[in-house]
Structure 1
Amino acid sequence: MFIRNESFYSFRRSYPIVTILVAIHLILFIWMNFLPGGRYILTMGIGNNLAVAYGEYWRIVTPIFMHISIGHVIFNSFSLVIFGPALEKMLGKAKFLIVYLITGVIANIATFYLGSPYMQHLGASGAIFGLFGLYLYIVIYRKDLIDSANSQLVMTILIIGLVMTFVNSNINVLAHLFGLIAGAALAPIILTGVKPFHTRPVFIDDGEPAFDPNRWQKKRRTSQRLKKALWISFAVLVIIGILARFL
Structure 2
Amino acid sequence: MDTDRLPGCYRHPDRDTAIRCTRCERPICPDCMISAAVGFQCPDCVRGGSGTGHRPEADAPRTLAGGRVESDPHLVTKVLIGVNAAVFLAALAVPGLAVQLELLGLYVQFWGGPVQGVATGEYHRLLTSVFLHVEWWHIAGNMLALWFLGGPLEAALGRARFLALYVLSGLGGSAVVYLLTPPNAPTLGASGAVFGLLGATVVLVRRTRQDMRPVVVMLVLMLVLTFVPYGGRLEVSWQAHVGGLVTGLLLGAAMIRPARGGKRPLIQWGACAAVFLLVGALVLVRTAALT
Percent identity, aligned pairs only, is 30
Residue 91 of structure 1 corresponds to 157
CA shift digits 1:129-179 (9 cap, x unpaired): 001111223345x2xx2511xx22211111111111113551111000111
Q: 1:17 aligns with which of 70, 73, 76?
A: 76
Residue 223 of structure 2 corresponds to 162
CA shift digits 1:59-79 (9 cap, x unpaired): 011011111111110000000
CA distance in 2, matches of 1:69, 1:48: 18
In structure 1, the gaps of 5 or more residues are: 2-11, 195-247
Residue 105 of structure 2 corresponds to 49
Q: Highest Rg: 1 or 2?
A: 2
Tell me how far 1:193 sits from its aligned partner: 5.3
CA distance in 1, matches of 2:80, 2:210: 27
**TM-score using structure 1 length:** 0.67
* Letter paired with 2:215: V
Residue 193 of structure 2 corresponds to 127
Q: Does 1:27 align with 2:90?
A: no
* Letter paired with 2:72: R
CA shift digits 1:166-200 (9 cap, x unpaired): 13551111000111111111222111357xxxxxx
CA shift digits 1:36-88 (9 cap, x unpaired): x2x23212111111111111111011011111111110000000111111100
Residue 245 of structure 1 corresponds to none
Tell me how far 1:118 sits from its aligned partner: 1.3
Residue 62 of structure 1 corresponds to 128
More helix by share: 1
Q: Does 1:178 align with 2:243?
A: yes
Tell me how far 1:26 sits from its aligned partner: 1.3
CA shift digits 1:8-58 (9 cap, x unpaired): xxxx9331100011111112212212x2x2x23212111111111111111
CA shift digits 1:99-140 (9 cap, x unpaired): 100011011011111111111100000000001111223345
Q: Does 1:74 align with 2:140?
A: yes
Q: How does 1:81-230 map to 2 (within 5 A)?
A: 81-140=147-206, 142=207, 145-148=208-211, 151-167=212-228, 170-192=235-257
Higher relative contact order (CA 8 A, sep 6+): 1
CA distance in 2, matches of 1:66, 1:146: 35
Q: Does 1:40 align with 2:103?
A: no
CA distance in 2, matches of 1:118, 1:18: 32
For residue 194 of structure 2, give the secondary structure of its aligned residue in structure 1: helix
For residue 72 of structure 2, give the secondary structure of its aligned residue in structure 1: helix
* Letter paired with 1:161: M
Coordinate RMSD, CA, aligned: 1.9
* Letter paired with 1:186: L
Aligned length: 176
**TM-score using structure 2 length:** 0.57
In structure 2, the gaps of 5 or more residues are: 1-36, 38-70, 107-116, 260-291
Residue 218 of structure 1 corresponds to none
